[in-house]
Structure 1
């Protein structure tokens, strides 16, 4: 639980009179403006396009989105729960390696695995070529092979890289399952997995599934490459293809309803189920040794997700690089890499700075109202990138027009476009969307800080600002740094917002790879694609160590 603020019950709305609290509240409102702007844009005139979309393609978009969500759910749940239970319950050769290797697919963006599997499984790909050579087939009329560019293919490739959300949550829940409850299950002759462990882990699994489904709704690269018309692709097509921002915003509101339903589901899963271990010692279930055929089964079940979600896509890209097909990191590719690094560093710095400031101020004396407003400002991650792009464009356009009017009144110069003509839109959108990542890291760090430090510093003559800067900030430095790394990696992989909001002649590694893959030239962009994957491996290892340290009674590492 986050440390209680020093004077939260007394301050209330009066907290905003303090300049520090006022600045924190205004910053939170600024972060909320792009989200609220989506609904402002949706209230505009779509010139009759919305009614046409609602009667023709909108049900098709919603149906495809729901079917894709269902398919990705099945794949993610099967891969995530089975692997989490096996590495937690059984001790077999390589089990400690599998604990963190099962998180590696999280480093592969969904659009990259879609590109690589299309190349791997297409008619001219290595799999079908090997089958024709093996069986003597001469043409596609001689055999049947599943089409990867389909709803089933999209469900498989997206589930293969999104299951780590469920794996992380399920494994953390299994690690904290009290051994006393398992002993009670044995006495009652209950199946320990289906009757004890799985029901207890269900809230955590549902929370992970909600994250998977939100990522599924927000995906653009995979559905666009596979030609699956979902709500996200519909927003993109209506906005850019039909040049109708109001209709795109109205479709975004439909997607928001799905997101809201998922958030409600996740909240209910966390609040309605609880259990308590009344034993004196925090004993958790011990891993059982697996020998012979059981060990082989465990290895196969754990290796399958890693092979599908990481080794095959990385192997395809490495093969292109080793054969000399990929371009070097020079020219446009080098510029895209520099743009990605600078954009990611800029957004990470802004997110961590704003999250740290709002977190410290709201927790230590900001009052209940400010705490709620700060938490509300961190909901951007729940919105797909295309939805936030709509809100950012609307908000930036209003601000640009306002600043142009003020400049015209004061200086006679009505020139605008300060926010909408550069990378400012991309930065703003990424800060709003990934604010939740930074704020979550700051909040987790503040949970371990004693609540009376500020009071003690004030008795020594320090001001609130001095206490926060000199005492509390150094104590949450590790958590803040971890949050910055996660934000950096998320921005490196971000595609839809960057693709929609970037200025002309501005490419990141994600958009650079997208442009090549769209033109069926993935092999030439293999090296930039590998850089995106490499950027996500370090946080994967950090996450694995954090999950392992969550076992009760185990000494937590720094």
Structure 2
């Protein structure tokens, strides 16, 4: 009997421990699934809003302006894609293939335009190149022209101007991915091309880097569709601007959601292209160690070509716009730090910092639980919750308003019955709505950074901690989080700067009399008073330089590790 009792007690305690473990696992996985569905709710809400009863404007839009929106969006995408390919590929090949004075400086300086929002370049170029600007004024003084009828000068506020300014800040996507592909291509493949007397750039490098180039180009196209500030300022009627105009101008959320669903087709096509490009990123090298191609010493024509390929993108995308902003400040137009500027700066810090904390917290929770406690389905759901980054801010704003309105109505009824108070508007207005929208939009940034970091950890690290007696939460806090500090910091900083530059969602969802640096600059530039907002605009640029340094450091680590 003693023996039977001694066998029974361990079995009972083991079953109880397993039951507690199973209940705890259900709690973790259930919370993860709930958060993932909450992040996906705004995307589903766009389609729900599009199916509602509108004001009958959809047919009118199809007959009048929708074809123009589609045509302009496609033309703008093609033009921006051409600019980014020229700037990105030529500069990537120059710093990879040739050795010339300043090469190491240009390697990271070519990423600087990524720190500037496209709408800031649009404002500065308009001031610099318009009829009353310094360029045309200098031409009239030199040649004695009296009016615009005496000469022809390209109009910057046009489709061509939008292609140039958007491409000038988005080419780092193509440059970064193309340069990485060039550096990771084994030198033996280039040597084989030399033996076959093939052109190394067009015959070897570009065909092998084509999947990476297409992937970078797909990201450029997505950002082009998302752009609002540039196309609004240049009066280029795209789908994004159409959503904004129909929603606020015609007060028709349903028709705006229908245009958003139409724009979603473009996003799906670009995502399919990007995924197809990634699936084909394969080649074989039978050598023991993949040694990159040895650089040539640039001289004469090749030196001049390298300098032009590197200086031109930096000058167009960074030096000139920053120079214009600095000139305004040095001339005393924007030296006073007014209470409005301070409030806008504080609001930007609140929104950017709050979103960064939310994104890192939510992304970390989803990644950790789906990796260590979830199955394949939970991992797919957690990854799918980060798809909001592929959607333009105007589209997500519609979804956030619709989802928050439904939650507000449901919560109002429940809380009023329980507590007797009316909570109407708590979920569908205020700064919290902006934070939630930015969380959905930039969840992919934090999720990607933390996912990449956790893949570098030993696979049995969590199991070893559990064997030593630590629970799941304690293992995360004491073991995993300290090792993930670098990835968490990098992801948070990237989110912080992205939100600092964000314009359309903040403009659409902000509370009354709530300005961030981006909306503050937009309001002044829209009234042709960019000089008064030069200092806040420069603050946005300075905030974006940190992630540029991070991107360059990541590229260096990647190429050294290869």
Give the TM-score normalised by structure 1.
0.95
Q: Where do residues 109-120 of structure 1 align in structure 2 (5 Å cutoff)?
A: 109-120=117-128
* Partners of 1:259 and 1:383 within 8 A in 2: yes
CA 1:553/1:214 → structure 2, altered by over 3 Å: closer, same or farther?
Answer: closer
**Contact in 1 for aligned 2:25/2:373 (Cα 8 Å):** no
Do 2:360 and 2:447's aligned partners in 1 also have CA atoms closer than 8 Å? yes
- 1:82 aligns with 90
Is residue 135 from structure 1 mapped to residue 158 from structure 2 by the alignment? Answer: no
| Aligned-pair CA distance for 1:475 | 1.1
Note the alpha carbon deviations across 1:244-288, whole angstroms, 9 max, x for none: 111100000011110010000001111134102111012111221
Match of 2:278 in 1: 270
Match in the other structure for 2:192: 184
Aligned match of 2:320: 312
Gaps of 5+ in 2: 1-21
2:412 is paired with a residue whose SS is helix
Q: Provide the residue aligned with 1:504 in structure 2.
A: 512
CA contact (8 A) 2:129 2:136 kept: yes
Equivalent residue for 1:417?
A: 425
Q: Distance in 1 between matches of 2:439 and 2:349?
A: 15
- Pick closer, same or farther for the CA change 1:449–1:553 going to 2, 3 Å: closer
1:402 alignment counterpart? 410
Q: Judge conservation of contact 1:329–1:528 (CA < 8 Å) in 2.
A: no
Aligned-partner SS, 2:285:
coil
- Assess if the C-alpha contact under 8 Å between 2:446 and 2:495 holds in 1: yes
Q: 1:258 aligns with which of 263, 266, 269?
A: 266
Residues 438 and 15 of structure 1: CA distance in aligned 2, closer, same or farther (over 3 Å): farther
Distance 2:182 2:535 in 1: 38
Q: How does 1:426-505 map to 2 (within 5 A)?
A: 426-505=434-513
Distance 1:30 1:510 in 2: 27
* Partner SS, residue 504 of structure 1: coil
- Establish whether residue 121 from structure 1 lines up as the match of residue 136 from structure 2: no
Partner of 2:298: 290
Distance between the aligned counterparts of 1:361 and 1:442, measured in 2?
Answer: 12
Aligned partners of 1:175 and 1:550 also within 8 Å = no
Q: 1:301 matched to which residue of 2?
A: 309
What is the rounded CA distance, in whole Å, between the counterparts of 1:441 and 1:207 in structure 2? 18
Determine the C-alpha separation between the residues in 1 that align with 2:23 and 2:259. Answer: 39
Task: Indicate which of 21, 26, 37 corresponds to 2:34.
Answer: 26
Say whether residues 1:535 and 2:535 are aligned partners. no
Note the C-alpha offset of 1:195: 0.9
Instruction: Say whether 1:388 aligns with 2:396.
Output: yes
The alpha-carbon distance between structure 1 residues 397 and 16, as it changes in their structure 2 partners (threshold 3 A), is farther
**Aligned residues of 1:283 and 1:553 also touching (Cα < 8 A):** no
Deviation of residue 464 (structure 1)? 2.0
2:233 equivalent among 186, 204, 225: 225
Q: 2: CA distance between counterparts of 1:221 and 1:227?
A: 10
Contact 1:72 1:156 in 2 (8 A): yes
- What is residue 50 of structure 2 aligned with on the other side? 42
Q: How many pairs were matched up?
A: 541
User: In structure 2, what is the Cα distance between the partners aligned to 1:210 and 1:357?
Assistant: 29
Specify whether residues 253 and 553 from structure 1 end up closer, same or farther in structure 2 by C-alpha distance, changes over 3 A only.
Answer: closer
Number of the residue aligned with 1:336: 344
Counterpart of 2:158?
Answer: 150
Tell whether the 8 Å contact from 1:282 to 1:552 is kept in structure 2 after alignment: no
User: Which runs of 4 or more aligned residues in structure 1 lie more than 4 Å from their structure 2 counterparts after TM superposition?
Assistant: 14-17
- Structure 2 match to 1:351: 359
Task: Quote the offset at 1:55 in angstroms.
Answer: 1.4
* d(CA) in 2 for partners of 1:464, 1:223: 49
Partner of residue 8, structure 2: none
The structure whose RCO (Cα within 8 Å, separation 6+) is larger is: 1
Give the Cα–Cα distance (whole angstroms) in 2 for the partners of residues 529 and 415 of structure 1: 37
Residue in structure 2 matched with residue 377 of structure 1 by the alignment: 385
Q: Distance in 1 between matches of 2:143 and 2:220?
A: 39
**What pairs up with 1:174-213 in 2 under 5 angstroms?**
174-213=182-221
SS in 2 for 1:79: helix
Q: Give, in angstroms, the shift of residue 415 of structure 1.
A: 4.0
Structure 1, unpaired ranges of 5+:
1-13
For 1:322 and 1:18, the matched residues in 2 are separated by: 61
Aligned to 1:524: 532
SS for the counterpart of 2:334 is coil
Question: Residue 456 of structure 1: CA displacement?
Answer: 1.1
Q: Per-residue displacement from partner, 1:434-457 (whole Å, max 9, x unpaired)?
A: 000000000110111011111111
Cα distance between partner residues in 2 of 1:281 and 1:470: 38
Q: Is the 8 A contact 1:38 1:387 kept in 2?
A: yes
Residue 55 (structure 1) aligned to one of 52, 63, 82: 63
Query: How far 1:553 sits from its partner (Å)?
Result: 5.0
Q: Whose helix proportion is higher, 1 or 2?
A: 2
State yes or no: 1:93 paired with 2:101: yes
For the aligned residues, what is the CA RMSD? 1.2
